[in-house]
Amino acid sequence: MNTWFAPEAPTCLKTTSDRDFPISRVFCVGRNYAAHAREMGKDPDREPPFYFTKWPETVRNADPADALTIPYPPETANYHHEAELVVAVGTPGFRIPQADALAHICGYAVGLDMTRRDRQLEARDKGRPWDVGKNVADSCPTGRLQMVEGGGHVETARISLSVNGEVRQDADIADLIWSVPEIIADLSKYYALRPGDLIYTGTPAGVGPVVSGDEITCTIDGLPPLTVRIGPPFDG
Ligand code: MN
């Protein structure tokens, strides 16, 4: 290859197997729990699912053994946690029937969709793209990917998030407005899904701000947990 500079190696997620998972693309689902839609001032009446994307390098391994620290990002005064079930695509597919959706999933993880809430709401209310609110460096700390082989699928499980030991988000995956198979069927109408794609399936109610020094822990029953500390402000 004759390139202007050496391309970066792909960002990888650690897994419960001895092989890492190279990330292709990151899709996120907006407002997928009714109580969270209401806390954001929206009607949760099963509007069609909608999506935004993040760069793969926003994902960081947040296995508790790694003691991950992420910086507090620039240009926000309201950096919010969003605990989410993350789905990893292992088999390609376009216009995937809902009944076949689970066969395209190779793993599940606990993930965060950290958000510059001030910037996101400003963009939302002006009808502008959400990129600077959502596609933030280091904003997707994610636990170890539990492979379906051995771990099975996640349909009902408690999801919870604590900041410095205080529970802020506590719900069940079964409360998703759009289930994982419904999301895969819908998203794959727009994009041919491929191995390496991650889908962050939306956050339950209880989102809120963090500050430097906070420690976030996040769990989904049956999946490896996630721990991340918020470090000093980003300084390049
Ligand atoms: Mn989210």
For the chain, 236 residues long, the average pLDDT of each consecutive 10-residue run is 94 97 98 90 85 98 94 98 98 98 98 98 97 98 96 96 98 96 98 98 97 98 98 95
CA of 176 to the centre of ligand 1 (A): 12
State how far the Cα of 88 lies from the Cα of 160, in Å rounded to an integer. Answer: 20
CA of 29 to the centre of ligand 1 (A): 6
> 104, 109, 153: which is closest to 15 by C-alpha?
109
CA of 30 to the centre of ligand 1 (A): 6
CA of 183 to the centre of ligand 1 (A): 14
CA of 51 to the centre of ligand 1 (A): 10
State how far the Cα of 208 lies from the Cα of 167, in Å rounded to an integer. Answer: 11
CA of 84 to the centre of ligand 1 (A): 7
- Please compute, for residue 54, the number of CA atoms within 13 A of its CA located in the half-sphere on the CB side: 28
CA of 6 to the centre of ligand 1 (A): 32
CA of 65 to the centre of ligand 1 (A): 25
Question: Tokens 């727009």 — which residue?
Answer: 190
CA of 82 to the centre of ligand 1 (A): 6
pLDDT for res 147: 97
CA 25 to chain centre: 12
pLDDT for res 1: 83
State how far the Cα of 196 lies from the Cα of 162, in Å rounded to an integer. Answer: 29
Strands (E), the chain: 12-13, 21-22, 26-29, 51-54, 59-61, 68-72, 79-81, 83-89, 105-112, 115-116, 140-142, 146-147, 158-163, 166-172, 198-200, 208-209, 215-220, 226-233
pLDDT for res 150: 87
pLDDT for res 43: 82
Specify the DSSP class assigned to residue 47: P
Q: Which residues contact 2 (CB under 8 A, 6 or more apart)?
A: none
What pTM, to 2 d.p., does this model score? 0.97
CA of 17 to the centre of ligand 1 (A): 27
CA of 4 to the centre of ligand 1 (A): 35
SS3 136: coil
Tell me which H or E stretch contains 37.
Answer: helix 34-39
State how far the Cα of 88 lies from the Cα of 105, in Å rounded to an integer. Answer: 6
> 122, 120, 141, 144: which is closest to 132 by C-alpha?
120
pLDDT for res 21: 98
CB 14 within 8 A of CB 184: no
CA of 2 to the centre of ligand 1 (A): 38
